[in-house]
Amino acid sequence: MNGFSFYATALILLIPLFGAAVLVALPGYWLTARLNVVFALLTFGAALLVLLGERPPPEPFLLVDDLNIIFVVINSFVGLTTSVFSASYISHELEIGRLTPAYLRFYHAMYQALMFSMNLALLANNIGLMWVAIELATLTTVLMVGIYRTHEALEAAWKYFILGSVGIALALFGTILFYVAASAVIGEGLEAMRWTTLIQHVSKFDPALLNLAFVFLMLGYGTKVGLAPLHAWLPDAHAEGPTPISAVLSGLLLNVALYAVLRFKLLLAANPETIAPGPLMVTMGLISLIFAALMLYRRRDIKRMFAYSSIEHMGIITFAFGMGGPLANFAGLLHMVMHSLTKSAIFFAVGHIAQVKGTQKIGDIRGLTETHPSLGWGLTVGVVAIGGLPPLGIFMSEFLIVSSTFAREPLLALFLVAGLLLSFGALFLRLHGLAFGPPTGSTVPLNSSYLPMTAHLSLVAIAGVYLPPPLVAWFQHVAGLLG
Amino acid sequence: MNSLDFDVAHLLAGGLVLISFIMLYQDRLYALLNTFALHALILAVSVAWQAFIQHAPHLFITAMIALFFKAILIPVALHRIIQRLGVHREIETVVGIGPTMLFGMGLVALSIAVMLPITAEANPLARQDLAFALAVLLLGLLLMVTRRNAVSQVVGFMSLENGLVLAATGARGMPLVVEISVAFSILIAFVVIGIFLFRIRERFDTVDVQALDRHRGER
């Protein structure tokens, strides 16, 4: 049984890698777009096998435990639905000539390469390997953000590349410091970078070195999470790249970077003499939340607006994990899953809206519910969900975060609630213009699949009313692990 | 530890910091590239020396990568890109040279003040290497933020990576996987940058990042 689940784990990595190799060699739209979906489906299947099977024992380089399997499943699920959305999105881009067939081949190969590197980062049992995987994910997304080669796209890609590489460089320095601290106790070599070994011995490491390492890691990976002082790349990269990539960036890549931070937080928490990583995360999370909430009011570009909303929600999640404790961790996990589903659904809707209206300017898009009812109502439900209104899933996780904060730190809860209300106001102000009122622009019906968007929103709606007990038990177990 | 081993390693690491300073005041692109080549050369010697005193033959590979890839191939390629694209040879700086140098000194003092007390128990070689590596890293960052030109930002980024390689080799027995991947990711990063510069040239007439910044602000 163990051997079987190990092969399933390997498949999660091998399928996208193989997919990238195949897709880079194949020409044409029809076949590659469908193959892209097939590979994503197979990866999701492998992830489910690992989830349902027994946990394989930790390998030298790969590890499956209760924490990362949540991320892997969400990652491959959103990867699958985004590939379905991407197929219809890309066909439109080809029609209007924004993408040429040569770039298309490259796009699909990069999509699978991104899936591979994110899954590798999640499954890595070695802090060096995890770093390499996140670096690879950064590079592939830089290439995809710049794929339209317009002035704005190049600027966005360049900014993303420079800031992302500086972040990743700081994270590597933190990783090296961690190794120096570990090798003094464990001895030199691979063992001192293996996560499962580190967690056993971390209480004996030099606390001062660990503190410094964590500061670098938090700043480095925090850049990739999009936390406030380091977020400058995020809105541009979301707004100028192809919309499927915005969905994957917001829904998945930010989570992967956050996962790296969480892993190191666990290590620090196991050493009683180090600084508590919590307050640092709480501060950065809260600053991101309030900053993004204020910035939401000034947006004129629809994708840029939802990019700021992603900063806001990553701030909330970081805040929740920084607070710690079983309840806040549970809420943080739930919020992360709900945010991934909702935000990617919103980007699916926004992608089609921008295509059918031919613009991303909020002012030029009005009355969507009249001209395109499914898109308009889909967007409305998505924004209602992301704004945190009951009875949808995000309401529940935000409610849990707010109530657990009120019980422990009432003052922080005030800031938290203020940030939530501010962003809620901004989103509804814009939604009103977008979805209702006299319609403007093209009214041509859109011929594409709404399945990915509907699937995500239904899951979020169901989660708001009913969470299956096994899921709750599992999340509670993981929340306990996170300390 | 043999004192000669230590002194030579110290000299080379200190040399890297010094050359980082020299890069800070270059105002011509070709001169900056030549200085960077020297930076990479010293790094290669330093890594080779570490390989020798740590009896870690795999580090020679890292040294070779630093020598052939960073000290020769990339400066030559960048020279050609500058020629092809007809980039302005002078570098526009955001802040004057004087304040930049002063700030750089502050950064070196900071990195020594931070690293030395913290690593008091680590082995002395790793200790001074980490302090110098942090200094090189911060000076690389400073170079990136004070330059407007895309090529010199890339050079700043590469000198920052040199600092990381110095730190990685100073940490005894750090697994090879990581070093190769560092070198490899620089390679990929460079392909990226190459494509980028090429594309930028396709669309505009400058590789000056300020031209990219036109679309700031309200959107």
What pLDDT is recorded for position A142? 86
A residues 155-174 closer than 8 Å to B (CB): 155, 157-158, 161-162, 165-166, 169, 172-173
- Judgement on whether residues A255 and A284 belong to the same structural domain of the protein: no
Cβ pair A151:B215 closer than 8 A? yes
CB contact under 8 A, A149 and B199: yes
User: Based on the number of CB atoms within 10 Å of its own CB, is A377 exposed (0-12), middle (13-18) or buried (19 or more)?
Assistant: middle
Asked if residue B201 is part of any domain, the answer here is yes
> Percent of chain B, pLDDT > 70?
77
Candidates A135, A176, A194, A240: best to mutate against B (most CBs of B within 10 A) is A176
| Spatial distance between the Cα atoms of A347 and A232, rounded to a whole number of angstroms | 20
Note down pLDDT in tens along chain A; length 483 residues: 466 778 888 889 999 999 999 988 888 788 888 999 999 999 999 999 888 887 888 888 888 888 889 899 999 999 999 999 998 898 888 888 888 877 888 899 999 999 999 999 999 998 888 988 898 898 888 888 888 877 788 778 888 888 888 898 899 899 988 888 888 888 888 888 888 888 889 888 888 889 999 999 999 999 999 998 888 889 989 888 899 999 999 889 999 999 999 999 989 888 888 888 888 999 999 999 999 999 998 888 999 999 999 999 999 999 999 998 889 999 999 999 999 999 999 999 999 988 888 888 888 888 888 888 888 899 999 999 998 888 888 999 999 999 999 999 889 999 999 999 999 999 998 888 888 888 877 777 777 778 899 999 999 999 888 888 988 998 999 888 887
Look at residue B210 and give its three-state secondary structure: helix
Q: Which of A145, A165, A198 to mutate to test the interface with B (most CBs of B within 10 A)?
A: A165
- Which member of B157, B189, B202 has the closest CB to residue A139? B189
- A214 domain residue, yes or no: no
Closest in A128, A143, A180 to B126, CB measured: A180
Q: Which residue has the tokens 């975060």?
A: A401
* pLDDT at res. A213: 92
Residue A201 lies in a domain: no
SS3 A276: coil
Of residues B96, B136, B85, B90, the one with CA closest to residue B115: B136
User: Is A247 in the same domain as A315?
Assistant: no
Helices A151-186 & B150-170 angle (0-180, nearest 10): 10
Give the structural domain span for A125.
1-174+237-261
Q: Are residues A401 and A255 in the same domain?
A: no
**Residue A29 in domain:** yes
Angle at the Cα of A221 from the Cα atoms of A128 and B107, rounded to 5 degrees: 95
Note whether A151 contacts B214, CB cutoff 8 Å: yes
Domain membership flag for residue B78: yes
Chain B contact present for A188, CB below 8 A: yes
Between the alpha carbon of residue B61 and those of residues A103, B51, B74, B173, the distances in Å are 35, 9, 17, 14
**Which of B130, B144, B173 lies closest to A183 in CB terms?**
B173
What are the chain A neighbours of B118 within 8 Å (beta carbons)?
208-209, 211-212
Query: Chain B residues with CB inside 8 Å of A187's CB?
Result: 173
Q: Is B95 helix (H, G, I), strand (E, B) or coil?
A: coil
Same domain, A345 and A446: yes
Beta-carbon neighbour count of residue A25 at 10 Å? 10
Does A346 lie in the same domain as A390? yes
Tokens of residue A261, six digits:
């931070």
Inside any domain, residue B114? yes
Instruction: Evaluate whether residue A205 is within a structural domain.
Output: no
Q: Cβ of B202 under 8 Å from any chain A Cβ?
A: yes
Q: Which of B134, B137, B215 sits opposite A155 (nearest CB)?
A: B215
> Tell me: the pLDDT tens digits for B68-110?
878 888 888 778 777 776 666 777 777 888 889 999 999 999 9
CA-based nearest distance B12→chain A, Å: 20
Per-residue b/e over B16-32, b at no fewer than 16 CB within 10 Å?
Answer: bbebbbebbebeebeeb
Would you say residue B180 lies in a domain? yes
Name the residue facing A154 among B178, B182, B199 (closest C-beta): B199
The dihedral sign for the CA sequence A130, A136, A140, A142? positive
| pLDDT at A417 (0 to 100) | 93
- Residue A23 backbone phi and psi in degrees, to 5: -70, -25
- Which of A100, A145, A152, A172 has the most B C-beta neighbours within 10 Å, making it the best mutation to test the interface with B? A172
Structural domains in chain A (count): 2
Cα(A200)–Cα(A194) distance, integer angstroms: 10
Band (B187; pLDDT cuts 50, 70, 90): low
Residues 6+ apart with CB under 8 A from A20: A109, A110, A112, A113, A116
- Kindly state whether residue A227 falls inside one of the protein's structural domains: no
- Distance separating alpha carbons of residues B83 and B195, to the nearest angstrom: 16
- Say yes or no for a CB contact (<8 Å) between B212 and A146: no
Query: Which of B118, B178, B215 faces A152 most closely, judged by CB atoms?
Result: B215
CB contact under 8 A, A189 and B173: yes
> What's the residue count for chain B?
219
Domain annotation covers residue A427: yes
For the stretch B160-182, pLDDT in tens is 888 888 888 887 777 754 555 56
Q: Helices A302-323 & A277-295, crossing angle to 10 degrees?
A: 160
Does residue A203 sit within a domain?
A: no
Under the banding of pLDDT at 50, 70 and 90, the label for residue B217 is: very low
Q: Tokens at residue B217, please?
A: 């602000």
What total of structural domains would you count in chain B?
Answer: 1
Q: Give, in order, the Cα–Cα distances in Å from A112 to each of A195, A372, B142.
A: 26, 32, 36
User: For tokens 């979020």, what's the residue?
Assistant: A460
C-alpha torsion B55→B119→A200→A190, nearest 10: -20
Q: State the pLDDT at residue B218.
A: 39
Same domain for A336 and A251 = no
- The answer to whether residue A267 is domain-embedded is no
Q: What is the pLDDT of residue B178?
A: 53
Please answer yes or no on whether A183 and B157 come within 8 Å at the CB atom. no
Same domain, A241 and A103: yes
Confirm whether B206 is domain-assigned: yes
Q: CA-CA distance, A332 to A338, in Å (whole number)?
A: 10
Task: Specify the long-range contacts of residues A443-447, CB closer than 8 Å, at least 24 apart.
Answer: A443/A371, A443/A372, A444/A356, A445/A372, A446/A352, A446/A355, A446/A356, A446/A372, A446/A375
Q: What is the DSSP string of A410-447?
A: HHHHHHHHHHHHHHHHHHHHHHHHHHSSS--S--PPP-
Number of residue pairs across A and B with CB atoms under 8 Å? 122
Last residue of a domain, one of A211, A226, A261: A261
Same-domain status, A465 and A331? yes
Q: In this complex, do B118 and A129 lie within 8 Å of one another by their Cβ atoms?
A: no
- Of A158, A213, A135, A18, nearest to B183 by C-alpha is A135
The residues in A 125-154 lying below 8 A from B, measured between CB atoms, are 126, 128-129, 131-132, 135-136, 139, 142-143, 146, 149, 151-152, 154
Q: How far is A18 from chain B (nearest CA, A)?
A: 19
In this complex, the residue of A126, A151, A180 whose CB is nearest that of residue B171 is A180
pLDDT at B91: 75
Which residues of chain A neighbour B209 with C-beta distances below 8 Å? 158
For residue A402, what is the enclosing H or E element? helix A393-408
What per-residue confidence (pLDDT) applies to B204? 41
**Are residues A243 and A293 located together in one domain of the fold?**
no
What is the average per-residue pLDDT within B185-196?
56
Closest Cα to residue A353, out of A237, A433, A419?
A: A433
State whether B160 and A166 contact (CB < 8 Å): yes
Sign of CA dihedral A302, A308, A309, A311: positive
- Closest-CA residue to A310 (of A367, A380, A257, A260): A257
Residue of A nearest to B178 (CA): A128
Q: Examine residue B113 and state whether it is found in any structural domain, yes or no.
A: yes
- A134 or B56, which is more confident: A134
Q: How far is B76 from chain A (nearest CA, A)?
A: 22
Residue A247 shares a structural domain with residue A318:
no
Same domain, yes or no: A167 and A283: no
Q: How far is A396 from chain B (nearest CA, A)?
A: 33
Whether B77 is in a domain gets the answer: yes
Q: Which domain holds residue B136?
A: 3-210
| Residue whose structure tokens are 């209104």 | A389
Chain A 279-338, residues with CB within 8 Å of chain B CB atoms: 298-301, 304
For residue B217, being part of any structural domain is answered with no
pLDDT, position A445: 75
B144 touches chain A (CB under 8 A): yes
State the pLDDT at residue A305. 92
CB A281, CB A265: distance < 8 Å? yes
Give the Å distances, CA to CA, from A146 to A151, A153, A155, A310.
Answer: 9, 5, 8, 20
Q: Which of residues 43-82 of B touch A (CB under 8 A)?
A: none
Q: Is the pLDDT confidence value at B202 over 50?
A: no
Q: Are residues A244 and A299 in the same domain?
A: no
Measured in degrees and rounded to the nearest 5, phi and psi for residue A56 equal: -70, 155
Query: Given an 8 Å threshold on Cβ–Cβ distance, is B134 in contact with A173?
Result: yes
The alpha-carbon gap from B139 to the nearest alpha carbon of chain A, in Å, equals 12
Nearest CA in chain B to A184: B122
